[in-house]
């Protein structure tokens, strides 16, 4: 493990499903290397490994996949759903998402009905400037063959790299469907956490969608408000539906945008004193007319934002009860580019009753029926609260 300080994240890993690989992967390697104590051994499990090695029909897997299996097995026994291990491609993607930028070609990936990976370049992106057309089927990234069974996160990781570095792409694009090779120079590509638009049913209402709490989120929200005001909006909806969280600091700073005073959260690490995060001065959006949309997938740092605005009576919550996740993960970058997320602290919002606990989230002020799957129904309910 490298010695870089861990980062604090309060993030619900919906996509981080850990495979059940069995406890037989606990070996002396885990005890000596990962746990670090030379006298800590698991002789029974070491014996299992030796017996399989000596008598098994199949060879043992290569060392790195075996090590990954050992770690997953250890975490399965540790039995904390938010203490997770990410292999290098997934760790890189999450880092990019939370930092809000990355070095890449600037294209969205999709699959067609046959599972092929299709490229949709962003306007004025490196991929677009190289001449790659929308809907082109990706065949190779450098020497890596792209097949329909490949995980999209692995494809995305292959496309990303240092800014200024070239990558060779082979694509099959219309009209002749012949393979063509393009050399694309990676550039810094923004990955916004926030998008916005005017509500179709109410042009005075601006809708700000925040999909993750990233380092760039507070500034992106201020940019969204400024742009929507220029376009005529004077009432706003902060849409946190589906937001699984992100950086604790980003959640706190986002809440500060809308508040004039008070405590946002308190947190405590094992054996440490309680830390309190206050509003230090009135936020630049403290007078903004706003309501907040939440649902069952609003979690973690997103619940910090919604809960702080609710408890300080700054904004009404419209929607459905949130997920309920009140823990903080420290993220340790490992030497091969993978990462370990360790649950290390608990946070709470003073004065919130009932408090957020795992599986018991925020209760909306204006409930939306669970069968109201139309986006228009949610927005209309929010607008009724905003404009009376």
pLDDT band, residue 48 (cuts 50/70/90):
confident
Cα–Cα distance for residue pair 221/236, rounded to 1 Å: 11
The model's pLDDT over 51-98, given as tens digits with 9 standing for 90+, comes to: 999 999 998 888 888 889 888 998 999 999 999 998 887 887 777 667
Kindly tell me the burial class for residue 141, based on how many C-beta atoms sit within 10 Å of its own C-beta (0-12, 13-18, 19 or more): buried
Whether the predicted pLDDT of 287 surpasses 80: yes
pLDDT > 70 in the chain, percent: 86
Please name every residue paired with 12 in a beta bridge, in sequence order, or none if there are none: none
Domains and CATH numbers, the chain: 7-83 (no CATH), 102-190 (2.30.42.10), 194-386 (3.90.226.10)
Instruction: Give the SS3 label for residue 316.
Output: coil
Confidence tier at 369 by pLDDT (50, 70, 90): confident
Structural element, H or E, at residue 247 = strand 245-247
Distances (CA, A) of 169 to 13, 31, 38, 102, 148: 31, 43, 47, 18, 16
pLDDT at 375 over 90: no
| 143-172: average pLDDT | 89
Percent of the chain at pLDDT exceeding 90? 52
Instruction: Please compute, for residue 157, the number of CA atoms within 13 A of its CA located in the half-sphere on the CB side.
Output: 17
For the ranges 154-163, 303-312, 351-360, the lowest mean pLDDT is seen at 154-163
The two most distant CA atoms of the chain are separated, in Å, by 76
Is the pLDDT at 373 greater than 80, yes or no? no
Nearest to residue 342, comparing CAs of 21, 28, 34? 34
- Mean residue pLDDT of the chain comes to 85
Average pLDDT over residues 170-177: 80
Sign of the C-alpha dihedral, residues 44, 47, 48, 49?
positive
* pLDDT confidence of residue 286: 97
pLDDT band at residue 40 under the 50/70/90 scheme: low
- Class of residue 133 by CB neighbours under 10 A (exposed 0-12, middle 13-18, buried 19+): middle
Average pLDDT over residues 318-323: 96
Q: What is the pLDDT of residue 163?
A: 86
The secondary structure element, H or E, covering residue 384 is: helix 375-386
Q: Is the pLDDT of residue 50 over 80?
A: yes
Q: What is the DSSP letter of 357?
A: B
| Bridge partners for 275 per DSSP | 267
How far is 246 from 249, CA to CA, in rounded Å?
A: 9
pLDDT classification of 17: cutoffs 50, 70, 90: very low
- pLDDT-derived band at 101, boundaries 50, 70, 90: low
For residue 105, pLDDT over 60 is answered with yes
Q: Which tokens is 21 given?
A: 């690989």
pLDDT surpassing 60 at residue 327: yes
pTM of the entire predicted model = 0.71
**CB-side exposure of 144: number of CA atoms within 13 Å?**
15
CA R_g for the chain = 24
Which pairing describes strands 194-199 and 202-210: parallel, antiparallel, or unpaired?
A: antiparallel
pLDDT at position 35 is 44
pLDDT at 372 over 80: no
pLDDT at 192 over 80: no
Q: Identify the pLDDT of residue 43.
A: 87
Structure-block tokens of residue 94: 């999450």
Q: Which of 345, 342, 364, 193 is nearest to 265 (CA)?
A: 345
The DSSP element (H or E) to which 153 belongs, if any, is helix 152-159
pLDDT tens-digit map of 246-280: 999 999 999 999 999 999 999 999 999 999 999 99
- HEC string of 322-352 equals CCCCCEEEEEEECCCCCEEEEEEEEEECCCC
Residue-wise pLDDT tens digits, 125-137: 899 999 998 889 9
| Number of residues that this document lists for the chain | 388
């Amino acid at each position: 493990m490298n010695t870089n300080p861990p980062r604090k994240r309060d993030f619900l890993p919906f996509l981080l499903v850990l495979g059940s690989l069995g406890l037989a992967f606990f070996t002396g390697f885990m005890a000596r290397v990962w746990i670090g104590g030379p006298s800590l051994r698991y002789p029974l499990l070491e014996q299992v490994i030796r017996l399989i090695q000596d008598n098994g029909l199949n060879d043992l897997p290569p060392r790195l996949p075996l090590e990954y299996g050992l770690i997953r097995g250890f975490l399965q026994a540790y039995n904390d759903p938010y203490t997770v291990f990410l292999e290098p491609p997934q760790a890189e993607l999450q880092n990019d998402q939370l930092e809000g930028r990355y070095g890449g070609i600037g294209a969205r990936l999709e699959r067609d009905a046959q599972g092929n990976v299709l490229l949709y370049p962003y306007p004025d992106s490196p991929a677009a400037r190289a001449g790659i057309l929308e809907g082109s089927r990706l065949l190779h990234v450098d020497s890596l063959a792209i097949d329909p069974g490949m995980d999209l996160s692995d494809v995305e990781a292959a496309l990303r790299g240092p800014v200024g570095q070239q990558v060779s792409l082979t694509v099959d694009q219309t009209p002749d469907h012949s393979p063509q090779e393009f050399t694309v120079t990676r550039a810094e590509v923004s990955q916004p956490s926030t998008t916005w638009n005017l509500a179709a049913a109410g042009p005075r209402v601006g809708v700000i969608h925040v999909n993750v709490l990233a380092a760039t989120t507070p500034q992106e929200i201020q940019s969204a408000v400024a742009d929507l005001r220029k376009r005529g909006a004077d009432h706003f909806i902060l849409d946190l539906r589906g937001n699984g969280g992100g950086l604790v600091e980003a959640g706190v700073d986002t809440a500060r945008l809308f508040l004039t005073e008070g405590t946002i959260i308190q947190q405590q690490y094992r054996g440490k004193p309680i830390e309190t995060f206050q509003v230090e001065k009135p936020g630049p959006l403290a007078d903004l007319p706003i309501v907040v949309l939440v649902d069952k997938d609003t979690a973690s740092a997103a619940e910090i934002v919604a809960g702080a605005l609710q408890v300080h009576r700054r904004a009404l919550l419209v929607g459905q009860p949130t997920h309920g996740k009140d823990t903080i993960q420290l993220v340790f970058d490992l030497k091969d580019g993978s990462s370990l997320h360790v649950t290390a602290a608990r946070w709470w919002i003073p004065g919130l009753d009932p408090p957020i606990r795992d599986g018991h989230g925020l209760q909306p002020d204006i409930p939306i029926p669970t069968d109201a799957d139309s986006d228009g129904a949610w927005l209309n309910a929010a607008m009724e609260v905003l404009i009376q």
